[in-house]
A and B are shown apart, each in its own frame.
Chain A
Amino acid sequence: MGAHVARPVPALAGMEALLRERSRRQRRERVERLVMVTSPIILLVVWEVVAVVGLVDIRFFPRPSLVIGQLITMTASGELWEHLSVTLLRIAVGFVTGATGGVVIGLLMGGSRWARAILGPMMASIYPIPKIAIFPLILLVFGLGEISKYVTVAIAVFFLVLFPTITGVLGIPRIYIDAGQNLGARGFEFYRRIALPGALPSIFTGFRVGLGVALIIIVGVEFVGATSGIGYLIWNSWQLFNINRMFSGLLVLAALGHLSSLFLDELQKRLVPWRL
């Protein structure tokens, strides 16, 4: 058999095939997006109809249009922002403090046998306590002000970031540690240039769980120990039996949860532009 040279595909036919593939993909993506946007809207419409015809008790499940109306009123009056800004600040301060602490102590424990031996048992025994359970103790120590809210969120976030950071450092392939050492990365530089970036994908898992839990904790704290914030808004509406206002608060929380996840996606794209 002689040498065989593959016959080139005629350029035009190749182009047509490419265009057909591309338009097929674009059509599928358009339909997907449409479904993603419309399915929650359909749910709301069904809810609205069911509420109007009286299939559900509108005292407990008010018409979505009324909830949205309430939300608009509260936005216009500034009441919503008043509560939302307080909650956002509490989450932000608590999360940043707790996450920073978790990353720093986690890197130290991941990188040093001694730090693990000294701190490990302590961390492991405090970790399982539900953090909301120590809120009364924190109130005793830090008083009724904002500090106690920050501290509760920070403690919860700290542990949820700490453990993924430790496993992240311990999971860095040996070869990167050896290479780093061989090129002279020691002490602080080792932590900054090798341990931190190597553990970052795992640290982000901690951030995700931590931010979700921060939201839960702050609402719980605001239920019982605050006179402002979205949690307080929901609790207070229940006490006043203002169901539309209560649902408005729930809607805001749902949006907050969704946005925080999008925020972390964006942050991860910027801080982790590589793959391990």
Chain B
Amino acid sequence: MEAPPGGNARIVVRGLHKVFETASGQVVVALQDIDLTVRPGEFLCIVGPSGCGKSTFLRLLAGLERSSAGEIRIEVTRPDRPVNSMVFQEQSTFPWMTVRQNTAFGLEMRGVDRRVRDELVGYYLRKIGLEAFANAYPHQLSGGMKQRVCLARAFANEPEVLLMDEPFASLDEQTRILMQEELLRVWEGERGRTVVFITHSIDEAVLLADTVVVMSARPGRVKATFAVPFPRPRGQLAQLKLQPEFAQLTYKVWEVLRDEVLNAQAAELKAWART
């Protein structure tokens, strides 16, 4: 699934379907006819009501699950590098590895030379404020620190595409705000890495993204796309929130999303009435 380099798209998704069959034999259409294009170096956020299949979509992009129909093409510019690295919502640092070993894991698995590896790992540990914890085990760290390790691990792997599945959803709000700024600081410092970021928070999507995609209630489809006009680097995100454009844009996204959340509730009610 490679596209010739030099195109204007890093990720192209065409007619993507994903159908599940539950244990009780019920057929669930998780994703229906998704078309999406992500430009090289674009930061794209997907918001949608819970259960709309946005996590499933990301797992398909990551190759952790197979699609039922349709195609996903991710342009490969450097064949020696991995196509994607994922940051999960759940705590996913390996408990049996130190922070340094966790961060180096992807590089080690693809046989990167030890010197290069140490250098890259050291660079991202410094950049993400983990240097002091390099030899700690994850159980000695707070939730926010563990998620930093996952960010460092994904960045250090130097993938074509970074995939993030609600990476900050389980953090407390204060930590989350700092982590959002931190992510942008690292990412903006090396423009050119493509990001697909899943979230249920409209604020988060508008603060971080170049493009916000709203997904519909199940079956998940692309409902609307918004361009975010704020210049980069975005700096203090709390200040960004004070701008009237921010309020307007989040309201527009919410207007679209609101219908979908109501649809999702109606569908749940109908399914419940049937049982």
Contacts and interface: CB of A to CB of B under 8 A. Distances in A.
Interface in A109-160: none
A183 B88 contact: no
Given A183-B105, A183-B106, A189-B109, A178 B95 contact: no
B96 A197 contact: yes
Given A175-B88, A197-B96, A275-B95, A182 B64 contact: yes
B234 interface: no
B225 interface: no
Q: Which of B62, B82, B94, B109 has the most CB of A within 10 A?
A: B94
Interface string B19-40: 0000000000000000000000
A179 B96 CA distance: 14
Nearest to B96: A197
B139 A184 contact: no
Given A175-B92, A274-B95, A181 B106 contact: no
Contacts of A185: 105, 109
A228 B91 CA distance: 55
B88 A274 contact: no
Q: Which of A181, A273, A274 has the most CB of B within 10 A?
A: A274
Contacts of B86: 178-179, 182
A176 interface: yes
A2 B262 CA distance: 44
Interface string B52-96: 000000000010100000000000000000101110101110111
Contacts of A275: 95, 137, 139
B139 to A, nearest CB: 5
B96 A200 contact: yes
Interface string B95-133: 111000000011001100000000000000000000000
A183 B137 contact: no
Given A183-B105, A185-B109, A274 B96 contact: yes
A268 to B, nearest CB: 13
Nearest to A177: B64
Contact of B94 (A176, A181, A200): A176
Given A181-B64, A183-B109, A194 B95 contact: no
Interface in B134-162: 137-139, 153, 157
Given A178-B88, A183-B153, A184-B109, A194 B94 contact: yes
Interface residues of B, number: 23
A220 to B, nearest CB: 37
Interface string A192-211: 01100110100000000000
A186 B109 CA distance: 8
Contacts of B88: 175, 178-179
A11 interface: no
Given A183-B153, A184-B82, A176 B110 contact: no
B121 to A, nearest CB: 13
Nearest to B150: A179
Contacts of A175: 88, 90-92
A276 interface: yes
A68 B106 CA distance: 59
Contacts of B90: 175
Contacts of A272: 96
Contact of A183 (B85, B138, B139): B85
Nearest to B139: A275
A184 B62 CA distance: 12
B240 to A, nearest CB: 30
Interface string A162-191: 000000000000011011111111100100
Given A184-B106, A274-B139, A179 B92 contact: yes
Contacts of B138: 274
Contacts of B109: 183-186, 189, 193
24 contacts: A175-B90, A175-B91, A175-B92, A176-B92, A178-B92, A179-B86, A179-B94, A180-B94, A182-B64, A182-B84, A183-B82, A183-B106, A184-B109, A184-B110, A185-B105, A186-B109, A189-B109, A197-B97, A272-B96, A273-B137, A274-B95, A274-B96, A274-B138, A275-B139
Given A182-B86, A183-B105, 16 more contacts: A176-B94, A178-B86, A179-B92, A181-B64, A182-B64, A183-B106, A183-B109, A184-B109, A193-B105, A194-B94, A198-B96, A274-B96, A274-B137, A274-B138, A275-B139, A276-B95
Interface of A: 175-176, 178-186, 189, 193-194, 197-198, 200, 272-276
Q: Which 8 A-B pairs have the closest CB atoms?
A: A197-B96, A184-B109, A183-B106, A179-B92, A274-B137, A182-B86, A275-B139, A175-B90
